[in-house]
Structure 1
Amino acid sequence: MTCAPAIGSVTVAGVEDYFGETVAARYDESSAEMFAPEAVNPAVDVLAGLAGDGRALELGIGTGRIALPLAGRGVPVSGIDLSSAMAARLRAKPGGDGIEVAIGDFATTRVEGTFSVAYLVYNTIGNLTTQDAQVECFRNAAAHLAPGGCFVIEVGVPDLRKLPPGQTVVPFDLSPTHWGFDLYDVATQSMSSYHARVADGRGEFRAIPFRYVWPAELDLMARLAGLRLRSRWESWDGKPFTHESEQHISVWEKPLG
């Protein structure tokens, strides 16, 4: 599937960065609902509990939506992100200069030390658009974890039940100023999110490619990395994961021995 390039995207070390300056400049505002306390605090509660007295590593740290409040709980946080523009927004915020951020592909980039918890939130695992890259991400996370440490992913369950035969597009937002559609290719597990915005008489279009992934597939990736499933919930407050769940928070553990 050929995807239209995102406005402001750049290439970093051979990997396309779809979260450049144009996106970073308005990221917090465009994702405002995800910055609300009711979205942030339950995630931080879980991650702080898993970190304990240890360190936390965020893969795809972005502008610090989770990292900053987690650090505010006294947890030392480091991060990896492909986008220097997003990392710059993080560093400019109060407390951001105390978080170490390595610029690079979070499937392969290493930082020093070991961690009690590594985590990927808000569907960020899908930004790795091949199965091989997602497998390498699990291996990278496992390599950073101390024995007994946990790798946590928050990601949506693919919406394929919304696709009648012959249809490949699912709308996810239709408002006076924004139209959003997901385009699926079930043969390759690839999808692209298309965004069209109109504001102040100006129009803008961008597309971001993803690879959707099933919970069972993630469990196999974890096994390949030497991790085992510890918990899976529908939400950060521990609601059970069922066949009707639209997302899951999964926790895999690195064995002690």
Structure 2
Amino acid sequence: MMTDHAGRELRRIRNFSIIAHIDHGKSTLADRLLETTRTVDRREMMDQVLDSMDLEREKGITIKARAVRMLYDANDGETYELNLIDTPGHVDFSYEVSRSLNACEGALLVVDAAQGIEAQTMANVYLALEQNLAIVAVINKIDLPNADPEKVAAEVGRFIGLLDDEMVFASAKTGIGIPDILEAVVQKMPPPAGAIEGPTRALIFDSHYDAYKGVIAYVKVVDGRIGGDDRIRLMANGKEADLLEVGFFGPAMMPVATLGTGEVGYVATGLKSVQ
């Protein structure tokens, strides 16, 4: 079903990622955010909704980025569009991590309250800091008997220079702290910048192939807007395509009339390849 969408105000958009080591609770946190914002009904929740590829399930790691839109009614009375851009949590996928972070203005750093910061997590944090992302730390699994959240928070503060109000104590498993995390995304992370009336520019940060719609490119609209009947040019190779559809992931593909400045979604290109 097509919905008309003229683009949400920039100030009410947040594009963010979750950075975490394997088994520190990233997928569980993503699921809980989707549940809390009613993006996914709890009864329909398939464990780790974002990890939809078979290989991911097998290894318990996220491989391909997924970009899911959530609508969040914040404490300030405004409704925000939150775009969660999922990133791989494994050392082999640092290129994909950096591509995903390019589409974000903020990142949630998830650290296990029992294990502390891992080296690979720090490598991804540095990628985020290089791109000037606003970082909020989530000290997760505080419900575990061997958790030491204060010690881990001090460690995070020391390594990354975060203040106390840039950290949230949580348990994604039990739901503790989830509302605080959503508020932190809204309050601590900036909205995207972009020229709403400018010529259209968009960043492709991932893609997959669909037998009927060709390459589905995952995009963040940097300037202007993209409509479902637009013609696009890929700057990397000069290829042009008449779009078949634009939309967002909710987490299923939801077609819309347009994607506005700052928004994250997909474009169906009809192309066999974007190489």
TM-score of the aligned structures, taking structure 1 as reference length: 0.31
